[in-house]
Amino acid sequence: MTEKNRKERRQAMNSFAFIFGFTMLLFVLFAVCTLKTAERGISLLDEKKARYDEVFRKQAGYNYRMDQMFKDMNNLTIQTRTDNEQARYHMIIARHIQEMQDEIYRGDVDTTHYVLYKVLFNQLQATQETTATYFDEKRDLDYIMEQIEKAQNLINR
């Protein structure tokens, strides 16, 4: 017994094998492309994570240093200090501000992450100038009050 449609079946089988093989080849090709793209995506995400971790670490350090500067400014205004101590505190704070600004500008080409610090530095410098003026005026006022007190003591004698 011989099949009558052997040629047609053979052709259909070859056609199926060709289409199936081509489909499997495409499937494997797309799988490889997907894996390669995923690897590149993962490495890109790791790079971005490392970069953002570095930025966050720097910002945490800057926040700590800013806290120290705020404490120094607060200590400067709360406790009574001599002129030399006030000048020394102002120099320390100004030096810290300058160091942080230099570090930000020198370290990173992209300073968009540190815009807030620039505003805070400007505000700190303005506050420092205001407190320096305040201390000068307070010293003058204390001197004048002392002179008035001396004059009143002389008049009352």
- Residue 39 tokens read as 């690897």
0.75 cut: is pTM over it? no
pLDDT in tens, 89-142: 888 888 888 888 888 877 666 667 777 888 888 888 888 888 878 888 888 898
Q: 């505003």: which residue's tokens?
A: 119
Burial of 137 (0-12, 13-18, 19+ CB in 10 A): exposed
Residue 43: per-residue pLDDT: 95
- Give the domain ranges of the chain: 6-156
Q: What is the C-alpha separation between 69 and 89, in angstroms, rounded? A: 10
pLDDT in tens, 26-76: 999 999 999 999 999 999 999 999 988 988 898 898 889 888 888 888 887
